[in-house]
A and B are shown apart, each in its own frame.
Chain A
Amino acid sequence: MTNPNVTTTETSTQVSTGKMTSVFVSALLGFFMIYGVGFAQPDALHNAAHDSRHSLVFPCH
């Protein structure tokens, strides 16, 4: 296990950049998944996810 106290400025910058990229990528992916299940308008998607939309309290219809 590496000691977090001995990281150089360069690596800690890389870590924080990597962290923010991960946060951004995963939030964006999560947003699209929620959008597809809860909000997308095409009838087929609405009908497939219908009971989920109502049960998870997404605005439906």
Chain B
Amino acid sequence: MNFSSLQRILTTAIISGVFAGILISLIQFVTTIPLITEAEIYESQPVASAPATDAHTEGHSHAAAAPAAHSHGDEDSWGPEDGLERMTYTVISNVIAGVGFALLLGAAMTMRGRDVDVKSGALWGVSGFLVFSLLPAAGLPPEVPGTVGAPVELRQMWWFLTVACSGVGLAMIVFKSSWIWRGAGVVLLLIPHVIGAPHPEVASGTAPASLAAQFAMMTMITSAIFWVMIGSVSGFVLEKLRALS
């Protein structure tokens, strides 16, 4: 049986993304999500700090009705009910994110053109974690609900810039043998951090610092697991597909 490269990428991405998406959801249910729920309790309590209230509610549809409250499940816009419905949407979102990340990883593996197995797939996964999770988090740390950040559009733009620079930069460092290319890769990797991530003038948030710190650590650990699963399962599927053809 012969697979076209597109069929190979799609098959690999669907299997690894669905697998990793479901498994990471189960892990998140006992790690990051209880912390999100706890932070939302602090977030929904009225806060005295004016900057926190103003900046957080920017872009939320019910700013006047509930200054410090969060926008899911309110009367203005649809949101899943807490419990099984919310959990189901989290699983669906994680599966879509998993397949999306696996497609990008599959595209990168195909461009590289070397055979990938479970072990090298795991390394590809580690690279994905560096590019999509760790390096962006160096500028924009993981945020529990209630954290005051710069306008979301600015943060999203910086996130995209960082992912693009980190991806290309890391590829130059790992795949090029010339030190000039590698040096240029390091420079590219650093550019977004030299520009600097957008931050609010006064950093504040409703959740206690210890909760925010624990959340930041948990998201990094679970993201690393997510990416290594995506990479190694992709490698496993690619090996099987090679054996079939």
Contact = CB atoms under 8 A, between A and B. Distances in A.
Interface stretch (B119-127, B174-182, B186-194, B219-227): B219-227
Interface residues of B, number: 62
Interface in B37-90: 56, 59-61, 71-73, 76-80, 86, 89-90
Interface size class on chain A is: 35 or more
Given A26-B13, A27-B103, A34-B100, A59 B72 contact: no
A7 interface: no
Contact of A57 (B78, B100, B219): B219
Interface centre among A46, A53, A54 (most CB of B within 10 A): A54
Contacts of B220: 57
Contact of A30 (B101, B137, B158, B245): B101
B156 A59 contact: yes
A61 B146 CA distance: 9
Interface in A3-60: 18-27, 29-34, 36-39, 41, 43-44, 46-60
Contact of B79 (A19, A48, A60): A48
Given A26-B13, A55-B222, A57-B223, A47 B72 contact: yes
> 6 tightest CB-CB pairs across the interface, nearest first?
A30-B103, A33-B100, A47-B79, A43-B77, A52-B93, A59-B155
Interface of A: 1, 18-27, 29-34, 36-39, 41, 43-44, 46-61
27 contacts: A22-B5, A22-B6, A22-B107, A23-B110, A26-B13, A26-B106, A27-B103, A30-B100, A30-B102, A30-B104, A34-B101, A34-B104, A36-B96, A43-B77, A44-B77, A44-B78, A44-B79, A47-B80, A48-B80, A52-B28, A52-B90, A54-B32, A55-B28, A55-B90, A57-B133, A59-B156, A60-B152
